[in-house]
Amino acid sequence: MNEDQLKSLAKEIRQDIFHMISNKGGGHYGGSLSSVEILVSLYHSAMLPNDRFILSKAHAGAALYSVLASKKIIDKNLLKTYCQEGSVLGVHPESDLLPQIEFSSGSLGHGLSFSIGLALGFRKQEKPNNVYCLIGDGESQEGSVWEAALFASHHKLSNIIAITDYNKKQASGLVDDILGLEILAEKWIAFGWNVLEVDGHSFKELCSSISFANKNKDKPTMIIANTVKGKGITYLENSETCHHTKFSEEQNNIALQELL
């Protein structure tokens, strides 16, 4: 896909996210909307058939489901069942409900460790597979993330490419106010990773950084993607309620117009 096609698809993904969560009666709009370009870049530009993806920041499940449908990995009609009684599409993706999901996430701080285990396994089997993992910034306050970072660096696992959706907000407020991460890039460098910092809504920067990671096989790579939580809906962008919210009918109508 070229850049214009990727942008058009991102617009469709945001519309899907809005309809899925609105039909549920509210939910995790913010982190789903902030991660759209990251997921579209991975699934429609970067990932090869044997590569694996782990969504560690599981509250972006709606975004992942829509992207999987866009790749025809799951049936698009399933999106209408999101979080309905008996649906295989829960708020957090579950591998026992949906086989196309590699790892049941939701307990934050575990996805990166699982991804690194996969990467180590592929290397031991001499397989060329890459493992991509999307983590959150609030999630990055977990000690398990940094233990995983040390392990990957120690074993020089260049087939793990992690991305931080750095939207600067978490469930209960600003990341900087709760447990600051700055300077995040320097932390990952100190832990022995290649680090690239990009605009997380720029397909050009995202695709270029992933390409760089695939060509530099000396150590694991962290891509810090600076994003806007609630991207695409003015009312939500960086608002106090952007992590998890419910819209009024008037707000719904405004959001729909903005997403068209």
- Terminal-residue alpha carbon distance, the chain: 21
Report the run of H or E that residue 11 belongs to, with start and end: helix 3-24
User: What would the pLDDT profile of 114-157 be if each residue is shown by its tens digit?
Assistant: 999 999 999 999 999 999 999 999 999 999 999 999 999 999 99
Average pLDDT for 87-106? 93
Average pLDDT for 89-93? 93
Residue 245's pLDDT is 82
Residues facing residue 164 across a β-bridge: 135, 224
Looking at domain 3-259, which of 1.20.1560.10, 3.40.50.300, 3.40.50.970, 3.50.50.60 is its CATH number?
3.40.50.970
Which residue's entry shows tokens 């009312």? 235
Whether the Cβ atoms of residue 135 and residue 165 lie closer than 8 Å to each other: yes
User: Residue 87 to residues 28, 59, 203, 213, 244: CA-CA distances in angstroms?
Assistant: 18, 17, 32, 37, 21
- What proportion of the chain, given as a percentage, has pLDDT over 70? 100
Burial of 145 (0-12, 13-18, 19+ CB in 10 A): buried
